[in-house]
C-alpha cells in the first residue's frame, strides 16, 4: 500500500470490480484518450484484467482511493517492468470525473514513481499521452518527467490523426529534483 497526503494506493483485487468501475471504462469522456475505448467492458472482462495483473510478476496495478481507502476514484499501473533494462511505463485514469483537476493524478504519479525507483529498483520510468491530453502531460511533467519525443500522427482520436508525446524520468533526475515531493 502506498500512502499519500490524500490518496491511498493499494493493489486492486477482484472485489474492487464494481458497476461504477466498469461504467468508467465505458464512459466516452473518461476513455477519450485510452486505448481501452475500443472494447466494451463488463464484469467478466474487467475481473479477468484485474486477475491477470494480480498474477503478473511484472505488473503493479493500484486503485486510487480517497476517504481513508473507502472511495475508489481511478487506477494507476506500473508495468510491465522490463527486468533487463530496469524500465517500466506508468499509465493511469481517474474515472470519477468530480475528482479531475484536483491534483490526484500528480499525487498518484509521484507515489508510483517513488515505488518504482525505491522499491523496484528501476532506472527509468516512461509514459505516453495523446498530444491534446494536456492534463496527463502536465501531471507527469510536474512529477519531473521530461518530454523525450513525439510519435507523429501515431493514433486516431475523434476522427483525426494525432501525435503521441513520450515522457521519461531517470532515477538520477528524480533523486536530484523530485525525490522529496512524495
Ligand atoms: C488526465 C488525468 C489523469 C488528469 O488527472 P487530474 O487529477 O485531473 O490531474 P491533476 O489535477 O493532477 O493536474 C495536473 C496538472 O494538469 C493540469 N490539468 C488537468 N486537467 C487538465 C486539462 N483537461 N487541460 C489542461 N490542463 C489540465 C492541472 O491544472 C495541473 O497543472 P497545474 O498544477 O499547473 O495547474 C485525468 O483527467 C484522467 O484520468 N482523464 C481520463 C483518462 C486519461 O486521459 N488518462 C491518461 C491517459 S495518458
Per-residue pLDDT tens digits for 11-61: 999 999 999 999 999 999 999 999 999 999 999 999 999 999 999 999 999
CATH number at residue 145: 3.40.630.30
C-alpha cell at 99: 475528482
The domain tally of the chain equals 1
Higher-scoring residue by pLDDT: 178, 152: 152
Which numbered atom of ligand 1 lies nearest the CA of 102?
A: 11
Mutate which of 63, 92, 101, 130 for ligand 1? The one with the most ligand atoms within 8 Å of its CB, which is 101
C-alpha cell at 58: 511484472
Question: pTM, whole model, 2 decimals?
Answer: 0.96
| Whether residue 129 has its Cβ less than 6 Å from ligand 1 | yes
Q: Which of 25, 33, 14, 23 is nearest to 134 (CA)?
A: 33
C-beta of residue 90 within 8 angstroms of C-beta of residue 105: no
Domain that holds residue 121: 2-177
| Whether residue 92 has its Cβ less than 6 Å from ligand 1 | yes
Mean pLDDT of the chain: 97
7, pLDDT greater than 90: yes
Phi, psi of 15 (to 5 degrees): -65, -20
pLDDT value, residue 182: 72
* Distance in Å, CA 182 to ligand 1 centroid: 18
Please report whether residue 182 resides in a domain.
no
Q: Which of 163, 160, 92 is nearest to 132 (CA)?
A: 163
Per-residue pLDDT tens digits for 65-90: 999 989 999 999 999 999 999 999 99
Please report whether residue 89 resides in a domain.
yes
Please report whether residue 112 resides in a domain.
yes
Amino acid at each position: 500500500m502506498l500512502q499519500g497526503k490524500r490518496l491511498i494506493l493499494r493493489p486492486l483485487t477482484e472485489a474492487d470490480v464494481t458497476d461504477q468501475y466498469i461504467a468508467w471504462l465505458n464512459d466516452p469522456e473518461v476513455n477519450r484518450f485510452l486505448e481501452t475505448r475500443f472494447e466494451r467492458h463488463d464484469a467478466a472482462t474487467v475481473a479477468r484484467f484485474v486477475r491477470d495483473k494480480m498474477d503478473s510478476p511484472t505488473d503493479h496495478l493500484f486503485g486510487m482511493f480517497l476517504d481513508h481507502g473507502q472511495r475508489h476514484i481511478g487506477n494507476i499501473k506500473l508495468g510491465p517492468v522490463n527486468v533487463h533494462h530496469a524500465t517500466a511505463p506508468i499509465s493511469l485514469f481517474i474515472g470519477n470525473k468530480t475528482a479531475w483537476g484536483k491534483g490526484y493524478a500528480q499525487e498518484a504519479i509521484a507515489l508510483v514513481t517513488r515505488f518504482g525507483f525505491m522499491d523496484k529498483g528501476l532506472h527509468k520510468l516512461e509514459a505516453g499521452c495523446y498530444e491534446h491530453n494536456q492534463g496527463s502531460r502536465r501531471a507527469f511533467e510536474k512529477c519531473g518527467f521530461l518530454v523525450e519525443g513525439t510519435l507523429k500522427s501515431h493514433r486516431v482520436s475523434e476522427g483525426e490523426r494525432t501525435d503521441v508525446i513520450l515522457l521519461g524520468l531517470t532515477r538520477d533526475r528524480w533523486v536530484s529534483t523530485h525525490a522529496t515531493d512524495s
